[in-house]
Amino acid sequence: MNPRHLTPSISLLLAFEASARHQSFTRAAEELSLTQGAVSRQVQNLELLLNVSLFKRVGRRILLADVGVMYLQEVTFALDRIRGASLKAMSFEAGTGTLRLAVLPTFGSKWLLPRLHRFYQKHPGVTVHIHTRFDQIEDFDLAGVDAAIGIRDLSPQGLVTEMVFHRLHPEDPVPIASPALLENARINIPVDVTRHRLLHVTHRPQAWANWFSAQGISSRSAHTGPMFELTAHLIQAALAGIGVGLVPRVLVEEELRQGTLVVPIHVPFPNHRHFCLTHPQHNDKLPQLKTFKDWLRAEIESTGYGWSSV
């Protein structure tokens, strides 16, 4: 097959994408600053090139054919990637532009966002777009992000080649409870936790079982409580006295300082999990990412934790 048939010009693709989005050649022409006839001819040329009918003509209306729906989805993704690449190229030398950052929702709301105004004060030319993600990202290009902050296993078996990991905070999961909840049922030793309703998050269903196992205690007699999709909701439930939660200490530092939550018992719970800033190696030279990393490192070190790369 002639490779030209597989690589239509950008002008043809833009005419098709705008026409499909508006379901109108006239409105597409207004958007592209062309005549209606020019847009219609570009779409016809694309259909001739592909040897398919992308639209159904119904009187003066146009409707996407089934193959047009499929093609629009793929073309839109490709055009977005091209636009993103162009923005990166335009902003590369200036160190400005946008950073697409995926963040765990509770870390974002409890730690990052309260500090982000300081980043904008120092770097007004960089815009950080926040994308909420619960899961680990393995293909950053497919996910449409430049970097991510999440919890990663930094043991040798948990590392991924072609990726850069910057350690921010140890996960350090600790039991949390409201002082009122503990007035009549204190927790003096680990097994005392089983007498309380235990709060869970959906993405870590085995967290409590792992904690009990580390203390040499069976979790079979534990009082299983409600499950929450967001760690932030679990924290609110703990504040309300609904039960005892197990969360990373960094997410409740403010509540612990205020005394609205307490860690009723301190016990060792070793693991290799850390909050990390992660990105592919090929993004390492992005100026806006470097700018963000420099700021983030200073913020981390100001809290008494050490920034390190893996």
| 35: CATH | 1.10.10.10
Q: Measuring CA to CA, which residue among 135, 117, 13 is closest to residue 74?
A: 13
Structure tokens at 59: 């009187």
Q: Are residues 160 and 291 in the same domain?
A: yes
Q: Are residues 152 and 281 in the same domain?
A: yes
Confidence label for 260 from pLDDT (cuts 50, 70 and 90): very high
Q: Are residues 177 and 254 in the same domain?
A: yes
What number is the average pLDDT over the span 112-127? 94
**Domain presence at residue 263:** no
Q: What's residue 272's pLDDT?
A: 79
Q: How many domains does the chain have?
A: 3
Q: Are residues 189 and 252 in the same domain?
A: yes
Residue that wins the pLDDT comparison between 66 and 161: 66
By CB atoms closer than 10 A (0-12, 13-18, 19+), residue 116 is: middle
Q: What's residue 96's pLDDT?
A: 59
Q: In whole angstroms, what is the distance from residue 14 CA to residue 186 CA?
A: 66
**Domain presence at residue 265:** no
Q: What's residue 160's pLDDT?
A: 62
Q: Are residues 279 and 163 in the same domain?
A: yes
Q: Are residues 116 and 161 in the same domain?
A: yes
Specify whether the backbone of 31 is left (phi greater than 0), alpha (psi in -120 to 50) or beta: alpha
**Domain presence at residue 268:** no
Residue that wins the pLDDT comparison between 132 and 2: 132
Q: Are residues 73 and 192 in the same domain?
A: no
Q: Are residues 206 and 250 in the same domain?
A: yes
**Domain presence at residue 88:** no
Q: In whole angstroms, what is the distance from residue 225 CA to residue 245 CA?
A: 10
Count Cβ neighbours within 10 Å for each residue of 20-35 and write b for 16 or more, e otherwise. Answer: bebebbeebbeebebe
Asked whether residue 250 carries a pLDDT value surpassing 60, the answer given is yes
Confidence label for 157 from pLDDT (cuts 50, 70 and 90): low
Q: What's residue 2's pLDDT?
A: 63
Whole-number percent of the chain with pLDDT over 90: 66
Asked whether residue 146 carries a pLDDT value surpassing 80, the answer given is yes
- Rounded to 5 degrees, φ, ψ at 231 are -60, -30
Q: Are residues 162 and 278 in the same domain?
A: yes
Map residue 123 onto helix, strand or coil: coil
Q: What's residue 7's pLDDT?
A: 86
**Domain presence at residue 266:** no
- Rounded to 5 degrees, φ, ψ at 191 are -65, -20
Q: In whole angstroms, what is the distance from residue 41 CA to residue 112 CA?
A: 50
Question: pTM value?
Answer: 0.69
Structure tokens at 62: 């146009």
**Domain presence at residue 184:** yes
Q: What is the pLDDT of residues 75-113, one digit of tens each?
A: 998 888 888 777 667 665 555 578 999 999 999 999 999
Confidence label for 135 from pLDDT (cuts 50, 70 and 90): confident
**Domain presence at residue 87:** no
**Domain presence at residue 112:** yes
Q: Tell me the residue range of the domain where 297 lies.
A: 93-169+273-309
Q: What is the CATH number of the domain that holds 228?
A: 3.40.190.10
